[in-house]
Amino acid sequence: MRVLEYGRKQRKTLLFLPCTAEPEWAFTASVTLLAQDYHVMQIVYDGHGGTDEDFLSVEHTVDEVTDWLCGHGITALDAAYGCSLGGACLTRLLALGEIRVERAIIDGGITPYQLPLPKAPAQTPCRLIYWYGDEEKKARRGNIRFIKRYFPHARTRGIPKVGHAELVMLHPQEFYRRVTEYLTHVPCFGRQESAPPVTQGEKN
């Protein structure tokens, strides 16, 4: 595992857990914008970006991330973002509670598929929202049910006119706007709140 750091001079911290099977540069535009406000720590998973080790598991990855953070004196984060596989890692990080996270965004996060699932809700004070592209809503139904059950205080929000991981990878300005809105301006989005769509110009 490697960690790319942006905005090191910023006081606030943000852990960035990307989706898998994508090169690290695919997230550079979005991460660079976030670095205007945060010290961003972007994880490069084992098996990605020239790392020598093979990717083993979400559990192993979260242990590595936790060890890295603690080794750098970071036991609490102002914010965390995880997309797809990164959302799975963030879900586990929050469940373990070894690193305190003030606010978190799980974007199309993958959750456990096999039973048994945890019987008791996670005990975390983190303000949490689960994002998903409207075009992937059907595929994410099981994930949304898990998040609502395991994190009862979590909110969910569909992003119009985008599919899986498209917001962070293809629309960095809109991604940055939405992240900033959630992390700094709004206590938490309501479940039924409507969201402005990504415009056609932004898609191009």
Position 5 pLDDT exceeds 50: yes
**Region 16-29 average pLDDT:** 90
Task: Say what the pLDDT of residue 88 is.
Answer: 93
Residue 122's pLDDT band, with cuts at 50, 70 and 90, is confident
**For residue range 88-114, what is the model confidence (pLDDT) as tens digits?**
999 999 999 999 999 999 999 998 766
Task: Say what the pLDDT of residue 199 is.
Answer: 44
Task: Say what the pLDDT of residue 67 is.
Answer: 97
Task: Say what the pLDDT of residue 188 is.
Answer: 44
**For residue range 137-162, what is the model confidence (pLDDT) as tens digits?**
999 999 999 999 999 999 999 999 99
**For residue range 28-71, what is the model confidence (pLDDT) as tens digits?**
999 999 999 999 999 998 876 666 777 778 899 999 999 999 99
Q: Among candidates 83, 44, 89, which has minimal Cα distance to 163? A: 83
**For residue range 175-185, what is the model confidence (pLDDT) as tens digits?**
999 999 999 87
C-alpha span between 106 and 86 (Å, rounded): 8
For the chain, the structural domain boundaries read 2-203
Task: Say what the pLDDT of residue 56 is.
Answer: 76
C-alpha span between 112 and 78 (Å, rounded): 26
Q: Among candidates 129, 83, 89, 94, which has minimal Cα distance to 112? A: 89
Could you tell me the fold of the domain covering 2-203?
Answer: Rossmann fold (3.40.50)
pTM of this prediction? 0.86
